[in-house]
Structure 1
Amino acid sequence: MSAILGISAFYHDSAAALIVDGQVIAAAQEERFTRKKHDASFPRHAIEYVLSEAGLKLDDVEAVAFYDKPFLKFERLLETYVANAPRGFRSFKIAIPVWIKEKLFQKSMLLKELKQISETADLRDKLMFAEHHMSHAASAYYPSPFEEAVVLTLDGVGEWATTTVAIGRGKKLEMVKEIHFPHSLGLLYSAVTYYTGFKVNSGEYKVMGLAPYGEPRFKDLMLDKLVDLKPDGSFRLNQEYFNYATGLTMTNQKFADLFGRPVRAPESEQLDQFHMDMAASVQAVTEEIILTMVRALAQEFKIPNLCMAGGVALNCVANGKLLKDGAFKDIWVQPAAGDAGGALGAAQAAWHQELGHPRHLPAGKRDGMKGAYLGPVYKQSDIEHRLSAAGAVFESLSEEDMIEATATALADEQAVGWFNGRMEFGPRALGGRSILGDPRSESMQKTLNLKVKFRESFRPFAPSVLREDMAEWFDLDYDSPYMLLVDRVQDAKQRKMTAEEENLFGIEKLNVARSEIPAITHVDYSARIQTVHEDTNPLYHKVISAFKAKTGCPVVVNTSFNVRGEPIVCTPEDAFRCFMGTDMDMLVVGRAVLRKDNQDPSLKEDYKNKYELD
């Protein structure tokens, strides 16, 4: 037996992953254990978890693979500051001491941290470093169901690369094209995220969710002034408008002058049509760049399969349009496409590239990610012990009765916390750590946003749909187990708007029911779809099937089990605290069923202000 430990750390979304004999065994983000969103610290808890899942000690691993090369990153910082001097001195003064003190000596820092996990492990000759984008590419290709694929990675920046193209064949993965910093699609999107008043590295989802409320009226201006896009999809960003290379902000005054507004202060003024139009415009530009690039790659390499990773690959609206476009017959996106997934990719690159082991495709059409259910799971006895210790009042039912109780609560329009099976790896809750609701309810979106999630009212919710019923409800008949494809609700299920409703602007559109399942139908009739498969999550499949038997609807609302600013819950205690701090009506943990009315009111927490807003 041969085990490889993969680690990503020190930037954002630190994580650990373990593969044994080439198979993905476990993976988790550090934030889930520390309860600090996007935790960048050394992932000690995640490492201890993935090793315990395999019954291994640190001494047992054949190699430890880190997800990027710190020296190359340092070289890029220095070269960027020198090229732009004297601009950027304030940023230089802040960044360089941190690098000299800590990041430059990452190898010794990693060994020191690992020593705290195991005194006896000698890892000096076992430590390997993969390039950042090779880690992304490996995470996209090796678990995919394809024997051969074009692999596209897009993010903010790794060491130098911001966009790469690789070709995967068998166990080989070869980089063939790169775009380098400061030209970055991820940083363009983050610049507009910053400009519209959201937090970089977490607010990009909000910009994507806001886009359908606006019109892309700045698209041509962006493509004229900000981006030089070539016919092959390669691009350059005009640095006159940006400040991220050497400054402490993403955009500069020239950017604000171009669009005629100052940067929106976070959480301040109301979002208005301008901000929605900016969101729509950067989304449209992003889609055009990706489509141009992907069409050119399909033409050049004549391979029918595309794999994707990197933060930009989480743009599920663009992914849906890529699939519809048909340049590639099949698309597979790594569910942990951001930096957390780099831990998994680094381990797989070490296994196949450095150690030369063959690649074995998963059986059937499935990928090698096990539905992304790669985190901790709890036995029923442990759940009951933990809930009792937390002061929870619950009843433990048979599996059949628990499913019936859950489906009944959903049909009664209750918000249900659902904690079952292994925790998901990546940013999406996929029916392991989810809050569920009735998609037929016209008030469910608003209720969940304002009373449960404590987040902006405009943010859409995703549907989980039984795979076998998908085509009847959505304009898509393709596996989407990781909620990474957006498509429209079927015409037959849509409700056409009245002339009066058509004239509404922006957020006013929010409360107009657009379909038979209004809670998951966005203002443009789209939805971010998760298909639920009996073989990867049988229990979740049973709950939705029971809901369908009661209502005729094979769809439930699925949002992550957390409040705004909080990482997704990891333990039964996390779930109980979140349940008591919100207006959720019912909580299901394993076979334990908790109803809000039965709980001790003194255990209620102020969850609305507990976490720093994201």
Structure 2
Amino acid sequence: MQILGINAYHGDVSAVLLNDGDLVAALEEERFRRIKHVAGFPTKAIQRCLDIGGIDAADLDHVAISRDPSAHFGKKVQFVLTNRPSLKLVWERAMSSRKVTNVEADLAEALGVTKRGLPPLHNVEHHPAHLASAFFVSPYEEAAVCALDAMGDFVSTSWAMGQGNHMEPLDRVYYPHSLGLLYTAITQFLGFPYYGDEYKVMGLAPYGEPTYTDEIRELIPLGEDGQFELSLGYFRHWQEDYDMNWEEGRPDFGKIYTPKLEELLGPEREPESELTQRHKDIAHSLQAVHEENAFHVLNAVHEQTGADRLCLAGGVAMNSVANGKVRANTPFEEVYIQPAAADNGTALGAAYHVWHEEFGAPRSFVMNHTLWGTSYDDDRVPEIVADQPEAASKYQWTTYDDLDRLCKKTAQLLADGKVVGWFRGRMEWGARALGNRSILADPGRADARDRINNRVKYREEFRPFAPSILEEAVGEYFTGHTGTYAEDAEESGPAPRPEGGSGHRAAPDPFMQQVYPVREEKQGEIPAVTHVDGTGRLQAVGKDRNPAYHALISAFAEKTGTPVVLNTSFNENEPIVESPEQALDCFFRTAMDAVVVENTLVMRQPVETAASEDTGPQ
């Protein structure tokens, strides 16, 4: 049975294809449209899913979309009657729902068929899709499942107990109360106005102190059994003229907070203006309170389920700093976070919800790697390079038929301080570049961060770079957390841990979804991937999951003694590159020293490195 899953009309639109319960392809539309977090309909992602699967529209048996406008209708009516939101807000929500009713027309256009030729369409509510995306592809037969985000289908937080091919819903938190919208509001307040900018505040937080935690706590009183409510006087998303644009292009949110927030925290920061210590302190305080709130929910989830294992999803589950502390602050022993935990992952969840919950199919698939996207050969790479002006004097390129030699050559470039683009195999699923669409450097060179920021990425200096580490070396370089962010920052000693937790060790996360402390004795060895607070968002690279990337890091370890490389996404203020042409274009217009595209290595002239001494047969 072929099932197409789609996330449409939200940000991060995407598509996946299942064949008898096995994942065939998973793609995000932004990689093809070249617009970050693109909204609208995932036409190109759908078409490429079918291409990868080798099927036509006529071969599809079912289509699942991760949105159901009819969900929680009673709650919506109650909200309107109780809160009397503006007519503009009601109209915008109605128009948003109307888009979903037009999904058949959009889908027919994407597939090149008439509406009568479409397979059955299933509307899967947003949060059940999130939950399904986490549990049904996890390695766990039984687990607690929790989704936390801004909101979708009138819900912002939900949890369930997953067993086999079924999840039993337990509780939820309804709009307008939301952990995600609180984080977004303060992100905007701090002068980061764009959809998806929350990760910047997470990166800024370690530079501050928890001096505003009491003020942030005032914004979100906690209740019993994992519940919480926003202090709505500080927010305007629920009542006033609040603009939200999900049209074709990057999603655009209006200002979520009211002037009352400035009375509490002081003047808002204008975008691009100086970041002061006050701004850094607010960021730190937000992260600290966010962790308190998240663990408040998760401890309630554990109390209601008694499970040892937890699956997390939703945009809030992209907060890798909080994720790394879950086992230190709850009784959960294991945590699984699917690589596309945000709204992109609801396409996956919608498809698996139909497969398991509606058709009752047994589980047979586990997502243990992210390589579900497009792939290319490198036949055209020499031609593309040769077509560049003055190519012969600017570049040298070699195609290898031996992976070992290619890895050794690239490892030597990295050891010599070069910044290298690495484009090989199938594209990653999710927001992280995990070794197939990556820019790499030597983590032992402290100046590597500045070189990449100033010559390649052109991004904020406070944002950290991540380490990719051989899976077998994780425990040697990383350790677990002892408490919450505020407690760690205040050096007040380990937080009392609920009985049964396992936060004393770093988890070998293959998806770069959890931040852990770098062991003190190793921080000097890998300064370029050690953040100001001594942590790193690690990716554990297993030989079975990505043999080529594992071979490259192993070759680097042989030359340097360090089984770690600096890994950042292969892009320059754009979505991660999808094709060889995009990879080479990024290389040509930035100051990267070299790029590997499949089996072809392209270097700038002159390349003064020990790697250039290798002139033997390739």
Distance 1:70 1:307 in 2: 26
Q: 2:305 maps to which residue?
A: 301
Q: 2:262 maps to which residue?
A: 256
Conserved in 2, the CA contact under 8 Å of 1:386 and 1:572? Answer: no
Identity of aligned residues (%): 41
Conserved in 1, the CA contact under 8 Å of 2:571 and 2:586? Answer: yes
For 2:596, the aligned partner's letter is V
Q: 1:571 maps to which residue?
A: 579
Conserved in 2, the CA contact under 8 Å of 1:6 and 1:18? Answer: yes
Which of 539, 544, 553 is residue 530 of structure 1 equivalent to?
A: 539
Q: 1:490 maps to which residue?
A: 519
- Change in Cα spacing, 1:119 to 1:283, as seen in structure 2 (3 Å) is same
Q: 2:234 maps to which residue?
A: 241
Secondary structure of 1:237's aligned partner: coil
- Change in Cα spacing, 1:90 to 1:108, as seen in structure 2 (3 Å) is closer
Distance 1:587 1:78 in 2: 56
Distance 1:199 1:541 in 2: 38
Which of 145, 159, 168 is residue 153 of structure 2 equivalent to?
A: 159
Conserved in 1, the CA contact under 8 Å of 2:133 and 2:345? Answer: yes
Distance 2:470 2:375 in 1: 23
Distance 2:76 2:188 in 1: 21
- Change in Cα spacing, 1:29 to 1:73, as seen in structure 2 (3 Å) is farther
Secondary structure of 1:229's aligned partner: coil
Q: 2:611 maps to which residue?
A: none
Which of 389, 394, 398 is residue 395 of structure 1 equivalent to?
A: 398
- Change in Cα spacing, 1:592 to 1:356, as seen in structure 2 (3 Å) is same
- Change in Cα spacing, 1:298 to 1:78, as seen in structure 2 (3 Å) is closer
Q: 1:555 maps to which residue?
A: 564
Conserved in 2, the CA contact under 8 Å of 1:466 and 1:531? Answer: yes
For 1:380, the aligned partner's letter is D
Alignment map for 1:254-293 (pairs within 5 Å): 254-261=260-267, 263-267=268-272, 269-293=273-297
Question: Is 1:48 aligned to residue 47 of structure 2?
Answer: yes
Shift of 1:598: 7.1
Distance 1:370 1:25 in 2: 14
Distance 1:113 1:66 in 2: 10
Conserved in 2, the CA contact under 8 Å of 1:132 and 1:158? Answer: yes
CA deviations 1:365-393 (Å, max 9, x no partner) are: xxx22411110111233555665567775
Shift of 1:470: 1.2
- Change in Cα spacing, 1:124 to 1:444, as seen in structure 2 (3 Å) is same
Q: 2:179 maps to which residue?
A: 185
Shift of 1:82: 5.5
For 1:139, the aligned partner's letter is S
For 1:405, the aligned partner's letter is K
Question: Is 1:372 aligned to residue 370 of structure 2?
Answer: yes
Secondary structure of 2:446's aligned partner: coil
- Change in Cα spacing, 1:63 to 1:384, as seen in structure 2 (3 Å) is farther
CA deviations 1:106-163 (Å, max 9, x no partner) are: 2334334424423267455511100000110000000000000110000000011100
Question: Is 1:38 aligned to residue 37 of structure 2?
Answer: yes
Conserved in 2, the CA contact under 8 Å of 1:154 and 1:312? Answer: yes
Question: Is 1:232 aligned to residue 244 of structure 2?
Answer: no
CA RMSD, 1 decimal:
2.1
Conserved in 1, the CA contact under 8 Å of 2:435 and 2:549? Answer: yes
Conserved in 1, the CA contact under 8 Å of 2:6 and 2:15? Answer: yes
Which of 484, 501, 510 is residue 481 of structure 1 equivalent to?
A: 510
For 1:50, the aligned partner's letter is C
Distance 2:153 2:38 in 1: 20
Conserved in 1, the CA contact under 8 Å of 2:404 and 2:551? Answer: no
For 1:259, the aligned partner's letter is L
Shift of 1:314: 0.7
Conserved in 2, the CA contact under 8 Å of 1:190 and 1:200? Answer: no
Conserved in 2, the CA contact under 8 Å of 1:58 and 1:121? Answer: no
Conserved in 2, the CA contact under 8 Å of 1:74 and 1:104? Answer: no
Conserved in 2, the CA contact under 8 Å of 1:66 and 1:346? Answer: yes
Q: Which moved more, 1:341-350 or 1:191-200?
A: 191-200
Secondary structure of 1:179's aligned partner: strand
Shift of 1:451: 1.6
For 1:254, the aligned partner's letter is K
- Change in Cα spacing, 1:387 to 1:29, as seen in structure 2 (3 Å) is farther
Shift of 1:561: 0.5
- Change in Cα spacing, 1:357 to 1:84, as seen in structure 2 (3 Å) is same
Secondary structure of 1:235's aligned partner: coil
Question: Is 1:22 aligned to residue 21 of structure 2?
Answer: yes
Secondary structure of 2:293's aligned partner: helix
CA deviations 1:78-115 (Å, max 9, x no partner) are: 76566444x6455556x26xx44x74152334334424
Which of 317, 325, 336 is residue 332 of structure 1 equivalent to?
A: 336
Alignment map for 1:51-62 (pairs within 5 Å): 51-62=50-61
Conserved in 2, the CA contact under 8 Å of 1:76 and 1:159? Answer: no
- Change in Cα spacing, 1:461 to 1:411, as seen in structure 2 (3 Å) is same
Distance 2:388 2:22 in 1: 36
Conserved in 1, the CA contact under 8 Å of 2:453 and 2:460? Answer: yes
Distance 1:462 1:74 in 2: 43
Q: 1:593 maps to which residue?
A: 601
Q: State the number of aligned residues.
A: 563
Conserved in 2, the CA contact under 8 Å of 1:25 and 1:53? Answer: yes
Q: 1:108 maps to which residue?
A: 102
For 1:253, the aligned partner's letter is P
Distance 2:288 2:506 in 1: 24
Distance 2:539 2:58 in 1: 39
- Change in Cα spacing, 1:116 to 1:463, as seen in structure 2 (3 Å) is closer
- Change in Cα spacing, 1:486 to 1:116, as seen in structure 2 (3 Å) is closer
Which of 203, 211, 218 is residue 217 of structure 1 equivalent to?
A: 211
Q: 1:464 maps to which residue?
A: 468
CA deviations 1:233-260 (Å, max 9, x no partner) are: 3111110011111333211111111112
Secondary structure of 2:167's aligned partner: strand
CA deviations 1:325-346 (Å, max 9, x no partner) are: 3511111011101111010100
Conserved in 1, the CA contact under 8 Å of 2:378 and 2:580? Answer: no
Question: Is 1:138 aligned to residue 137 of structure 2?
Answer: no
Unaligned runs of 5+ in 1: 363-367, 495-514, 600-614
Conserved in 2, the CA contact under 8 Å of 1:451 and 1:583? Answer: yes
Shift of 1:301: 1.6
Shift of 1:479: 2.1
Shift of 1:404: 1.5
Shift of 1:491: 2.1
Conserved in 2, the CA contact under 8 Å of 1:137 and 1:152? Answer: yes
Q: Which moved more, 1:5-14 or 1:66-75?
A: 66-75
Distance 2:202 2:107 in 1: 37
- Change in Cα spacing, 1:244 to 1:206, as seen in structure 2 (3 Å) is same
Conserved in 2, the CA contact under 8 Å of 1:59 and 1:118? Answer: no
CA deviations 1:546-600 (Å, max 9, x no partner) are: 1100000000000000112x0000000010111112111100001111112379x
User: What TM-score do you get using the length of structure 2 for normalisation?
Assistant: 0.87
- Change in Cα spacing, 1:580 to 1:380, as seen in structure 2 (3 Å) is closer
- Change in Cα spacing, 1:489 to 1:78, as seen in structure 2 (3 Å) is same
For 1:175, the aligned partner's letter is P
Q: 2:614 maps to which residue?
A: none
Secondary structure of 2:463's aligned partner: coil
Distance 1:411 1:120 in 2: 56
Distance 2:183 2:45 in 1: 30
Q: 1:365 maps to which residue?
A: none
Secondary structure of 2:269's aligned partner: coil
User: What TM-score do you get using the length of structure 1 for normalisation?
Assistant: 0.88
Distance 1:578 1:275 in 2: 33
Conserved in 1, the CA contact under 8 Å of 2:474 and 2:508? Answer: no
